[in-house]
Amino acid sequence: MKSRTLPLLVALTGLGIAVGIAAKKGKKQLSEESLAKVEAAIPKEVVKPKEKRKLLVFSRTNGYRHKSIELGNKTLVMMGEKTGAYEAFVSDDLSNFEKDKISEFDAICFNNTTSEVFRPHKTKFKLLDAEQKKEVLAKEKELQQNLADFIKNGGGFIGIHAATDTFYDWAEYGEIIGGYFDGHPWTLKTDVSIKLDDSAKGNPIVAAMSDGEPLNFKEEIYQHKAPYDSSKLDMLLRLDTETTNMDVKGIKRKDGDFGVSWTKSYGEGRVFYCSLGHNDHIYWNPKVLSIYLNGIQWAIGDLKK
């Protein structure tokens, strides 16, 4: 990268210690009441980690930015501290995806990321000249390859909610995470019912659902498009279409296949995804936090299923 463009690229992409402008938008103060609810909901039972674990929590957004991101990030930090399962490092610094840095982590969590998060926002990108765009896209491709290699070589990857609304221009990412966002017919104020997938009975990741009771609350629920294929995923949770309103607008799938959470492998790596995470109350729901903690520990390699 030529020195004449470096200051501009650092400012626009956050490749140094700078954090992208979009990543700061929408930040809100967390109430003591919310944090107290989160702390009370954190699971007390945890699988003892084989060694000290490091989790990178990344929530950069170049599209819609969820208001729950800060609470989600704080929840992941608190859950790691209270259980000892991992130490969470919250950072949108893209230098963490350089080869010499990414190897420091056991797993990476994309918390409500959106769009092409390894490049500047489109309003900034269009201001670059042709050579600068070429350099930025080359760096983006390099970081993407580093992330793919990290997972293929045994690293863990966790996606929360809008993590499937990310990297549309990088087809391999869709294969890594298992599908792309294709709208949310069920919005943040919609009552939904989430059930345990039949194949997940006995799976320790969703042990909190072993009582057979569904999760009933208001939440934004996604539908997913290709490469989503639930027959090729280890499904954990689904939308219960028998008890959830199916007359809402925007339903594109005709097969009733609305996966909410799943796991999969990618090379030697382990991928855990859950679309719950739009509304704040998700982060103080004990069952949901149990699923997230177990999913993280499975992705890291400490929980066997």
The per-residue pLDDT for range 170-219, each reduced to its tens digit, is 999 999 999 999 999 999 999 999 999 999 999 999 999 999 999 999 99
In the sheet with 107-111, reading across from the earlier edge strand, the strands are 87-90, 54-58, 107-111, 156-160, 269-274, 259-266, 234-239, 191-196, 215-218
Angle between helices 130-152 and 6-13 (to 10 degrees): 60
Residues 6 or more apart in contact with residue 227 via CB below 8 angstroms: 174, 175, 178, 179, 180
The per-residue pLDDT for range 281-290, each reduced to its tens digit, is 999 999 999 9
pLDDT value, residue 305: 87
**pTM as predicted:** 0.92
pLDDT higher than 60, residue 269? yes
Angle between helices 32-41 and 286-300 (to 10 degrees): 60
Residue 245, number of CB atoms within 10 A of its CB? 12
Which letter does DSSP use for residue 191 in this model? Answer: E
Q: How far apart are the C-alpha atoms of 92 and 112, rounded to whole Å?
A: 12
Q: How far apart are the C-alpha atoms of 73 and 62, rounded to whole Å?
A: 17
The answer to whether residues 181 and 161 touch, using CB atoms and an 8 Å cutoff, is no
pLDDT value, residue 136: 98
pLDDT higher than 60, residue 14? no
The answer to whether residues 19 and 93 touch, using CB atoms and an 8 Å cutoff, is yes
Q: How far apart are the C-alpha atoms of 260 and 76, rounded to whole Å?
A: 19
For CA atoms 134, 266, 206, 260, the dihedral sign is: positive
Q: How far apart are the C-alpha atoms of 277 and 293, rounded to whole Å?
A: 14
pLDDT value, residue 21: 36
The per-residue pLDDT for range 160-179, each reduced to its tens digit, is 999 999 999 999 999 999 99
pLDDT value, residue 27: 57
Q: Is the link from the previous residue into 120 a cis peptide, with omega within 30 of 0?
A: no
The per-residue pLDDT for range 18-59, each reduced to its tens digit, is 333 334 444 568 999 999 999 999 999 999 999 999 999 999
Residues 6 or more apart in contact with residue 246 via CB below 8 angstroms: none
Spell out the domains of the chain, with CATH numbers in brackets.
6-179+260-300 (3.40.50)
pLDDT value, residue 19: 36
Write out the two tokens for 99.
Answer: 């080869």
Which letter does DSSP use for residue 235 in this model? Answer: E
pLDDT higher than 90, residue 116? yes
Residue linked to tokens 């290699």: 149
pLDDT value, residue 18: 35
Quote the percentage of the chain above a pLDDT of 70: 91
Q: How far apart are the C-alpha atoms of 304 and 288, rounded to whole Å?
A: 19
The per-residue pLDDT for range 220-243, each reduced to its tens digit, is 999 999 999 999 999 999 999 999
Alpha helices per DSSP H over the chain: 6-13, 21-24, 32-41, 69-83, 99-102, 122-125, 130-152, 171-177, 286-300
Mean pLDDT of 101-121: 98
181 forms bridges with which residues in the sheet? 224
Q: How far apart are the C-alpha atoms of 120 and 35, rounded to whole Å?
A: 32
pLDDT higher than 90, residue 7? no
Which letter does DSSP use for residue 255 in this model? Answer: S
